[in-house]
Amino acid sequence: MFVSCENLSAFFEINTILWLTLLVTAATYFYIDVKNKQSFWKKKGVPYIEPAFLLGSVELNRTKSFAESIQDAYNVYPDERYHGIYQFTSPSLIIKDPDLIKQITVKHFDHFVNHREVTSADADPFWSKNLFASRDERWRDLRSTLSPSFTSSKMKIMFNLIDECAQQFIQHFKEQQQEVVELEMKDTLSRYTNDVIATAAFGLQCNSLKDRENDFYLMGKDANDFSGLRIFKFLLYAISPTLSKWLKIKIIPANVTDYFCQIIENSVHIRKERNIVRPDMIHLLLEAQKGRQNHEETSEINEGFSSVSDSELTKNRRKQEITLDDINSQAFVFFLAGFETVSTFLTFTLYELALNPQIQDRLRKEIQSVEGKMTYDKVLGLKYLDMVVCESLRRWPPAVTTDRQVSKDFIIEPVKPGEKKLLLEKGAVCWLPVFAIHNDAKFYPNPEKFDPERFSEENKNKINPSMYIPFGSGPRNCIGSRFALLEGKLLLSYILKNFEVVKTGKTKIPVVLDKTQINLASEGGMWLGFKKL
């Protein structure tokens, strides 16, 4: 049986028309679905930033850094307590009002327990076990279990480990022959934070300034690289969480997590076999695993304006059973946070000190007034150092933004004329744009000026605590804030005692924020000099 050319041509013509019809129908459905999702705030009667089709409200064309893009979005409605944006097609609410931030993070915390889910437990079980990613009752129980490992008394236990790394850092540069050692600060300081985390959380001793290519440091850099394909993973989850779960997208590559897990498992095995006790985070997590940790505070001095405390909501709950997998995950996320955020904080602090020599001189005099060996209590007792650190975290918060996801329906009651009740359904996301809030002239006059006097005894009561959130706010604040502050303050005290931090020919003034990084970073690096005293 033969098919004529005419019949064959008609067959292909019909199929072509059919496929074109299906394609147009699918495209039309996709267009309508996207437009419907991106009309969410309009239907709610909420002021919002008009989104670009599919791409959303936040600029993605790399003409500005992520921090500045969020700041621009924050400033669109200066007189509103909140307004809507779109992360691709997902609606989010930018929160700008102090009382509303307090409601979300403290007063009505039970409605806002979680961060937005980045990936599912099925897709990435290792990531989902850490405290930051944990949700609902597991988070409450896990926070209660881990909190005793981060009290001031435990920081005192680990102080000597951190001190050894800080002194090793200083000695390295004291041995240099040059009068002024020119350095790219982010790379230099990340080597210090790497060594601190290696010894305090993983039981390893590194010297990343001398052994620049050690495996631990290289793996740490890889773990903290959120450019290229890593950004694509986050974008894919923002566009289609369902597809990301189906593809089982992991946050961190398996070879990186396997490396860190192997270190911890070997350390735990040796400690148990040889009955070794080392005053570090693994020991504290093993004690938590045995249920031996109690929530106690021993510090009798003020830990500083930027320090945060644990909520009573999580202090006396039942303890979460801690497995070796949990220890692996907690230690790893502790490393991620400590490696990147502390080195960023130190980088921008030294930049401001180089640009403000009068502030640097005053701080040096305070540090030099300390008699004898530096101790935990002496570091915390340096009041002007705390003022400088608080102002640095105000001007350059390493966490550009944080979020809360609605756990159960919540109504934002109207306060201003023209506002209506706003129902936030379960799953809705609220953004707390930290960088934008900290640089808002309504809350911090002349915000671009680096002014530690904002945090003096006479002035700090003028700051609304809801609008100063470098470590987050409420029960879900950063559990490692004490450790980060101690690690940073100790190194700053040693640096200023031995060196003058100076500008060099490579120092960019003003700083230009890197457009390719999600994290706060200086374009082309942050170049400064250590001048021997």
387-405 residue pLDDT tens: 999 999 999 999 999 999 9
Higher pLDDT, 320 or 342: 342
For the record, the structure tokens of 213 come out as 């290519």
Higher pLDDT, 503 or 10: 503
Asked whether residue 318 carries a pLDDT value surpassing 60, the answer given is: no
38-532 placed in CATH 1.10.630.10 = yes
Q: Rounded to an integer, what distance in angstroms lies between the CA atom of residue 127 and that of residue 266?
A: 20
Across 117-131, 169-183, 321-335, 445-459, least confident range: 117-131
Across 2-16, 87-101, 137-151, 383-397, least confident range: 2-16
**Any bridge partners for residue 472, and if so which?**
470
- Other Cβ atoms less than 10 A from the Cβ of 10: the count is 12
For the record, the structure tokens of 377 come out as 């209590």
Average pLDDT over residues 100-126: 88
Higher pLDDT, 24 or 510: 510
Average pLDDT over residues 343-365: 98
For the record, the structure tokens of 504 come out as 């060099």
Higher pLDDT, 458 or 20: 458
Kindly list the distances between the CA atom of residue 226 and the CA atoms of 197, 241, 336, in Å, as whole numbers in the listed order.
19, 19, 11
Q: What is the DSSP string of 292-328?
A: ---------S---TT-----GGGTSSPPPPPPHHHHH
Higher pLDDT, 56 or 238: 56
Asked whether residue 247 carries a pLDDT value surpassing 60, the answer given is: yes
Query: pLDDT at position 1, please?
Result: 46
What pLDDT, in 10s, does the model give residues 490-525?
A: 999 999 999 999 999 999 999 999 988 888 999 999
What pLDDT, in 10s, does the model give residues 360-370?
A: 999 999 999 99
Q: Which helix (H) or strand (E) holds 431?
A: strand 429-432
5 annotated binding-site participant: no
Query: pLDDT at position 342, please?
Result: 95
Q: Rounded to an integer, what distance in angstroms lies between the CA atom of residue 46 and that of residue 38?
A: 13
Q: Are 239 and 89 in contact (CB under 8 A)?
A: yes
Instruction: Please name the residue that has the structure tokens 């080392």.
Output: 278
Pairing of strands 429-432, 90-95: parallel
Average pLDDT over residues 436-462: 97
Mean pLDDT over all residues of the chain? 88
Q: Rounded to an integer, what distance in angstroms lies between the CA atom of residue 375 and that of residue 115?
A: 36
Cis peptide before 510 (omega within 30 of 0): yes
Instruction: Please name the residue that has the structure tokens 């270190």.
Output: 263
Helix axis angle, 481-498 to 185-201, nearest 10°: 130
Q: Rounded to an integer, what distance in angstroms lies between the CA atom of residue 436 and that of residue 78?
A: 12
Asked whether residue 448 carries a pLDDT value surpassing 90, the answer given is: yes
Q: Where are the domains of the chain?
A: 38-532
Asked whether residue 325 carries a pLDDT value surpassing 80, the answer given is: yes
| Residue type, position 295, single letter | H
Residue % of the chain over a pLDDT of 90: 57
For the record, the structure tokens of 442 come out as 């309504």
Collect contacts of 133-138 with beta carbons under 8 A, ≥24 apart: 133/333, 136/407, 138/320
What pLDDT, in 10s, does the model give residues 413-442?
A: 999 988 999 999 999 999 999 999 999 999
Asked whether residue 296 carries a pLDDT value surpassing 80, the answer given is: no
Average pLDDT over residues 34-44: 93
